[in-house]
Structure 1
Amino acid sequence: MECRPLSEPEVKTLCEKAKEILMEESNVQPVKSPVTICGDIHGQFHDLVELFRIGGKCPDTNYLFMGDYVDRGYYSVETVTLLVALKVRYPQRITILRGNHESRQITQVYGFYDECLRKYGSANVWKIFTDLFDYFPLTALVESEIFCLHGGLSPSIDNLDSVRSLDRVQEVPHEGPMCDLLWSDPDDRCGWGISPRGAGYTFGQEQKVVTIFSAPNYCYRCGNMASILEVDDCRNHTFIQFEPAPRRGEPDVTRRTPDYFL
């Protein structure tokens, strides 16, 4: 498969159309079942293609992606472009939430900014996409039963109306409820704790919590399998695990203990 990025004018037009759609979506976006729920992709474009091969093509399959489309992998531009294009073409069949990496600050450190400079010769495409990220919904609610988001809960949020009332059209703050939704993590504890990542909180799994990670062999060196979660009409769920797609030009990476997942 040839991976040729869209031209800068094409990216601008695509994101303008996507913005019109995303502006109409809620901070707690309702999603119908059946749906396939997916976690981090992190620029691993060929693994995203493998995910669609295993889970089914969009629009045949209804998808919910929970953020972190860019950074770390070598194909962040292609990854986010494909997902945004699918959103524009099939707005009722794919939901794309914001992750903590859909951020101007984080993408300048972990790869997306530099990738845009390398592939386009300027930061214009990076700015177009990061401006669009401000409009991505923060959370989703499958059939009014399954609450989905990139990070986790917040001690500042008591109910879904509190999430709905947030002004999401901004850069991800360093603290506060919006930050917590994108940065918090479940933990084996009772109650709240300070997150070791420096943003958000850890929280106890007093109710059922499922985490989903969809980037196999993360950073091309971790050796992990990936998973997606299929939820049927009756809210029964099935995990599907998959291996990474064959390597296609990614540089060799020395395997070592990775940085903590950001």
Structure 2
Amino acid sequence: MSIDINNSQLDIDNLLERLLEVRECHLPDKFVQIFEQEINLLCEKSKDVFLSQPMLLELEAPIKICGKRWYNIKLWKSFNNCFNCLPVAAIVAGKIFCCQGGLSPDLHSLEQIQQIQRPIDVPDTALMLLDGIRLNNKADKQSENRISRSLSSLFDLRRLGLLCDLLWSDPDNDLKGWSENDAGISLRFGVDIVNEVSY
């Protein structure tokens, strides 16, 4: 089937059908041709869906919660614009708190998460630079952390507080309390902090 990539309409059913068809044939060398325009349109449509949902999802259990970068920087930005609309956290079965990163000393109530307005522009420039350093293996871990701290201060990532922590804070079994994480982007937190949580 030929697809008019200049058409601004996206046939989501057709896209899903092509993806599922490959999954069902179980051939590792079988690929689906997805045009960049289709991905951009899918990101645009996804933003509307994400924005129609609450910032803090309440999900039923059991659930499977699940990349490499492809194409070009323009498409990468399209994905980021879509990600800026995603919910940032979820509560599974009324008792399991899920987020990309971790806890925050600025989080005192789950309502704070609900009040975060979307789309929210998460500063991706510094993170893309750091990701590029990692992908090119041009720095050892110590140099990578030093560069990350410099980028963090240059782009003032900590100014985002709660959101930044929900996305990038890290648990640390050997820590008590809070400490800046190695990358300097957010914080690390110990088991004692996890045990104190009662949102």
Q: Cα distance, 1:190 vs. partner?
A: 2.0
Distance 1:168 1:157 in 2: 18
Q: Which amino acid aligns with 1:136?
A: L
Q: Which amino acid aligns with 1:27?
A: M
User: Tell me, what secondary structure is at the counterpart of 1:13?
Assistant: helix
Q: Which amino acid aligns with 2:175?
A: R
Distance 1:5 1:169 in 2: 30
Q: Given the superposition, is the C-alpha separation of residues 198 and 168 from structure 1 closer, same or farther in structure 2, using an over 3 Å criterion? A: farther
1:42-91: CA deviations, max 9, x gaps?
Answer: xxxxxxxxxxxxxxxxxxxxxx23xxxx3xxxxx3xxxxxxxxxxxxxxx
1:189 to 172, 175, 183: 175
Is contact 2:51-2:118 (8 Å) kept? no
2:84 to 125, 131, 134: 134
Q: Cα distance, 1:24 vs. partner?
A: 1.4
Q: Is residue 71 of structure 2 the alignment partner of residue 116 of structure 1?
A: yes
The one of the two structures with greater contact order (alpha-carbon pairs below 8 A, sep at least 6) is: 1
> 1:139-154 residue pairs with structure 2 within 5 A?
139-154=89-104
Moved over 3 A (4+): none
Q: Given the superposition, is the C-alpha separation of residues 168 and 198 from structure 1 closer, same or farther in structure 2, using an over 3 Å criterion? A: farther
1:214-256: CA deviations, max 9, x gaps?
Answer: xxxxxxxxxxxxxxxxxxxxxxxxxxxxxxxxxxxxxxxxxxx
Is contact 1:181-1:200 (8 Å) kept? no
Q: Is residue 120 of structure 2 the alignment partner of residue 170 of structure 1?
A: yes
Q: Given the superposition, is the C-alpha separation of residues 178 and 33 from structure 1 closer, same or farther in structure 2, using an over 3 Å criterion? A: same
Q: Cα distance, 1:171 vs. partner?
A: 2.7
Hey, which of these two has a bigger chunk of strand by percent? Answer: 1
Q: Is residue 187 of structure 2 the alignment partner of residue 201 of structure 1?
A: yes
Percent identical: 33
User: Tell me, what secondary structure is at the counterpart of 1:116?
Assistant: coil
Distance 2:92 2:117 in 1: 22
Is contact 2:58-2:92 (8 Å) kept? yes
Q: Cα distance, 1:167 vs. partner?
A: 2.6
Q: Cα distance, 1:168 vs. partner?
A: 4.3
Q: Give the alignment's TM-score, normalised by structure 1.
A: 0.46
Hey, which of these two has a bigger chunk of helix by percent? Answer: 2
Q: Cα distance, 1:186 vs. partner?
A: 1.0
How many residues are treated as equivalent by the alignment? 130
1:29 match: 57
